[in-house]
Structure 1
Amino acid sequence: MDALQSLIDDPNEALGAEYKAEIDLETPIGRANFARHIAALANHGGGYLIIGFDDDLTPREPRPSLPTRDDVARVVKRYLDPPLQCDVRILDDAEGRTYGVIVVPSHGAVPVCACADGPQDAAGRVKGITRGVHYIRKPGPESAPLLTSQEWAPLIRRCALAERSSLLGAIEVALRGGDQAPGLDAVLASWAEAASVAYSRGVEANCPDSKVGTARFHFAYAIETQGEPLKMSVLADVLRRVGHELDQQVHTGWGMFHVFDGPIGPRSKTDQRLDDGDLEFLEMNLLEQDSTVGMTDLWRVTASGLASIQRGYIEDTHWWKDIPPGQVFSPNQMAMSVTELVRHASLFAREFGEATQVHFRCEWRGLKGRQLHDFHHPWMFSGHPAEDDERRSRTSATIGALETSWAQVAAELAGPVARAFGIGHVVTPAWFTGQSAAWFRR
């Protein structure tokens, strides 16, 4: 299911998701309460406010009215500093009921603070939101004032990471160069190979007739860092936070490394091919757990900054209307997936205090005979069948380059597969920037 659609189809209130029967933006207290939730979600690292569910998470009847993006922006501008741009998505459930999902981005280099008081009650007490207070998400879940040093710690850390990436990015590009840590390429190769073997075995065991056995892409990266790894106990929450931020930049509908709740959520795993089974990682395996929409992802992430994802081509699914599987290759889908990989690596690297570079490996299989085709975006060339069945790419980029020159990194990774279709001269950094206008937001 779509990452946003899952909030509707499988409601589960959490720190990053606030469910409401309706949103009152007509009264001062309603606007103040709404602003408090937005501030808390932003200071949580991003999240969602879902409109249309009662307290027991059943659909609200009668159905509520839903705010527009302008409605949300007016409240944010009135009550919060620095202001942030929220998105509003309208989604339907299987019975045709409509819901609103307000997508709240993470704070940046400074936390979001209330800059105005809510209304006063008869006793003169401020209600809803208080000027000068920072709000965060707390167990319950609830949106409440930040009170203790322990509560400040993760917020300060995210602010520092955002500031570090912004200030040091250009300097790193100039001074760091492309030197690679000794042995890291071999580690990444072993990591990717083990994931590939696991995917092939998963196809054989669960869907031996599936096209993904021979037609899929496989992306992997390794974060080079001199600092300590993350703790496995917090890895899922970190990936959730990264996923929220990523969706604000590259919205594909089914985000890479998205952490679902419930049966298809990631599990702690080991693999005998990796450190004799001693390396622990999170794995989401949709070859073993039915996604209900035909997706066949297998992704793995370690607390030390290794990541890999394998996915069948969306061009081979029912979403690619009236085209049999194995016939076409979409340049725009390729651009989105590569950009999403680069941005995910950049955002995840921020969680490592001493990260310096990220090393990438990309592989596309099952290309031979496919022709260029986009049904959402007209493609300048038709035909161009690929003669090679597989293409691979490798590159390394400093943390600064990922922040300031993402299109250059993406073009380097996409070059080999573009050349397989005879369009290598077209797929440039400028082309990536142009293609991204519809789905990349900074």
Structure 2
Amino acid sequence: MAADRDQIRTLVQQPVEALQLELKTWIDPRAADGIAKIVKAIFAIRNRNGGFLLIGFDNASLLPDPYAFDEPVETVFHVDVIQGLVSRYTSPSFEISVTYQDRDGQFHPVISIPEGVTVPAVIRRDLAGNGGKKLLTEGDVYFRTFNTNGTASSARIMPADYADLLDVCFENREADIGRFLRRHLGGVGSAATLATALGLESKSTQLRNRAFAVIGIGKSASDDAMQAAATEEERKRVKDALTMHVAMVLDPIKPDALPTQDFLNRIASSNPNFTGWPVWLDSRGFTDKKSRPYVVDRVWQACLVDLDGGWSQHMEFSRYDPQGEFYLQRVMQDDLTEKVPPGTALDVILMIYRVAEVLAVGTSMGRALGWDIESEAGFAFRWTGLSGRTLRPWVNAFRSFGTSGNQSRSASTDAFVQVPIDTPFSALAPYVASAVAPLFATFDGYIPSAELVENSVRKLIERKMD
């Protein structure tokens, strides 16, 4: 897993435990008990289809712990040391990487565990500690799962977790026929025809209407929150900025659901964290208390404003309704960067990444919140601030797709796509293509190739974005 530097930096600056992100205090990879903890964590994340292990953090406070060793962190947690533990205790073996990221003058190891597991990682030999106590047992399987209070933890796999583990393996093998069909039919004309033949059109219409209603409600709530959270100058700066409005609605509605901490824990823990600043992120650990989520009318809300010119600028608003309705409003990076003048550009591949992330995170949340695997998620998109903007690969000028200069004369556009929540990440490309098509068509009729979308989605889920 080759995470980019911005993602690693964000993970260390704003760590939040999730199914694919675990925090550990300073543990000694040279001592038996430290080896056992590291191996269990890495194996559990591997079996959850990859992620990250951050060392040197208290998982309760999410704050850094004082460094515990005499030797430099790069020596104690050298990649050869950690890779040696993986190779010695796992079957089959896999390759990890280690990055060292500074926070407050102290470097922290970030161990990246690759995705793509098709056979579960299993402990291949015993490890005994002081007094002969067995710390690792040959044949054990570890897995990242939710415990009783809804937070993520690494533990010996329980019977209830085997379905998830098998899903991960099957998804990577693309051996499930139903998912294979969705990969080739999802979000395209033939899928719509199939839905009509099966009598699902009315459900699709209901989801669409609900989703766009949520965009209206969310936009109104965002306006109120931004009035209080942002200065007049900040609001003026983004008045005509490129903004993505997203609503996700889950079927069926859960009318009695409450905005509990357990609900928020499951949202946070299920986020795959594909990017350094993921959609529907958990801001409970943010230093700025104004950025933390709060409850209004039985719905969690969070308003994040940071336009001070630091290493990362953001302006967004989120709503999390436990009944099954979610909203996100985000000012896009195209207008928060110094690489291009505001109001002038839209990077095609960057937008594909963001839309794919919305679908991946949304369906992952739906599964974690207990919606049945046969449930559907309806995603409504609205993009504003398009007029006068041109397609331009400003993130990486070398990844040209032959359309630089295509201009939009539309102020905004909408899209809707319906996704089964058990759709594997690797099968999301057709849905992403369907979602972005109306947006890109406003730019002189441009439609990205299926290959471009497929490759971009793959890079996102493999965390190999360029």
Give the TM-score taking structure 2 as reference length: 0.73
Question: Structure 1 residues 161, 353: closer, same or farther in 2, change over 3 A?
Answer: farther
Query: C-alpha separation between the residues in 2 aligned to 1:260 and 1:35?
Result: 29
Query: C-alpha separation between the residues in 1 aligned to 2:435 and 2:152?
Result: 43
| Contact 1:117 1:130 (C-alpha < 8 Å) held by counterparts | yes
The offset of 1:194, in angstroms, is 0.9
The offset of 1:192, in angstroms, is 1.3
Residue 369 (structure 1) aligned with residue 369 (structure 2): no
The offset of 1:94, in angstroms, is 5.0
Question: Structure 1 residues 364, 75: closer, same or farther in 2, change over 3 A?
Answer: same
**Paired residues, number:** 417
The offset of 1:360, in angstroms, is 1.4
| Contact 2:347 2:395 (C-alpha < 8 Å) held by counterparts | no
The offset of 1:103, in angstroms, is 4.1
Query: C-alpha separation between the residues in 2 aligned to 1:193 and 1:287?
Result: 21
Residue 239 (structure 1) aligned with residue 261 (structure 2): no
1:273 aligns with none
Query: C-alpha separation between the residues in 2 aligned to 1:342 and 1:307?
Result: 12
The offset of 1:221, in angstroms, is 1.6
Aligned pairs for 1:43-82 (under 5 A) are 48-52=52-56, 57-59=65-67, 63-65=72-74, 67=77, 72-80=82-90
Letter in 2 for 1:421: F
1:179 aligns with 201
1:274 aligns with none
Query: C-alpha separation between the residues in 2 aligned to 1:164 and 1:223?
Result: 24
Question: Structure 1 residues 14, 375: closer, same or farther in 2, change over 3 A?
Answer: closer
1:98 aligns with 107
Q: Secondary structure, in 3 states, of the residue corresponding to 1:183?
A: helix
Aligned pairs for 1:88-237 (under 5 A) are 88-93=98-103, 95=105, 97-103=106-112, 113-119=122-128, 125-133=132-140, 146=156, 152=158, 155=161, 158-159=164-165, 167=176, 168-170=178-180, 179-181=201-203, 183-205=206-228, 206-209=230-233, 210=235, 211-215=237-241, 216-225=243-252, 232-233=259-260, 234-237=262-265
Query: C-alpha separation between the residues in 2 aligned to 1:161 and 1:134?
Result: 15
The offset of 1:110, in angstroms, is 8.9
The offset of 1:327, in angstroms, is 1.9
1:258 aligns with 281
The offset of 1:154, in angstroms, is 6.2
Q: Deviations over 1:343-368 (max 9, x none)?
A: 11232232322443221111111111
The offset of 1:310, in angstroms, is 0.8
Q: Secondary structure, in 3 states, of the residue corresponding to 1:308?
A: strand
The offset of 1:91, in angstroms, is 1.9
Residue 409 (structure 1) aligned with residue 431 (structure 2): yes
Aligned pairs for 1:339-418 (under 5 A) are 339-351=356-368, 352-378=371-397, 379=400, 380-399=402-421, 403=425, 405-418=427-440
The offset of 1:331, in angstroms, is 1.0
Query: C-alpha separation between the residues in 2 aligned to 1:180 and 1:334?
Result: 30
The offset of 1:300, in angstroms, is 1.5
Match of residue 326, structure 1, among 343, 346, 364: 343
| Contact 2:280 2:328 (C-alpha < 8 Å) held by counterparts | yes
For structure 2, list consecutive stretches of 5 or more residues without a partner in the other structure: 186-190
RMSD: 4.3
The offset of 1:52, in angstroms, is 4.9
| Contact 2:18 2:152 (C-alpha < 8 Å) held by counterparts | no
1:283 aligns with 301
Question: Structure 1 residues 385, 185: closer, same or farther in 2, change over 3 A?
Answer: closer
Identity over aligned pairs, percent: 19
Query: C-alpha separation between the residues in 1 aligned to 2:379 and 2:350?
Result: 19
The offset of 1:188, in angstroms, is 1.8
1:307 aligns with 326
The offset of 1:254, in angstroms, is 0.7
Letter in 2 for 1:118: L
Letter in 2 for 1:348: M
| Contact 1:41 1:136 (C-alpha < 8 Å) held by counterparts | yes
1:428 aligns with 449
1:267 aligns with 293
Question: Structure 1 residues 155, 281: closer, same or farther in 2, change over 3 A?
Answer: farther
Letter in 2 for 1:257: W
| Contact 1:330 1:373 (C-alpha < 8 Å) held by counterparts | yes
Query: C-alpha separation between the residues in 2 aligned to 1:12 and 1:335?
Result: 25
Q: Deviations over 1:48-92 (max 9, x none)?
A: 432356997135576312646665454334324576665544322
Question: Structure 1 residues 13, 365: closer, same or farther in 2, change over 3 A?
Answer: closer
Query: C-alpha separation between the residues in 2 aligned to 1:192 and 1:214?
Result: 18
The offset of 1:438, in angstroms, is 4.2
Give the TM-score taking structure 1 as reference length: 0.76
2:40 aligns with 36
The offset of 1:285, in angstroms, is 1.2
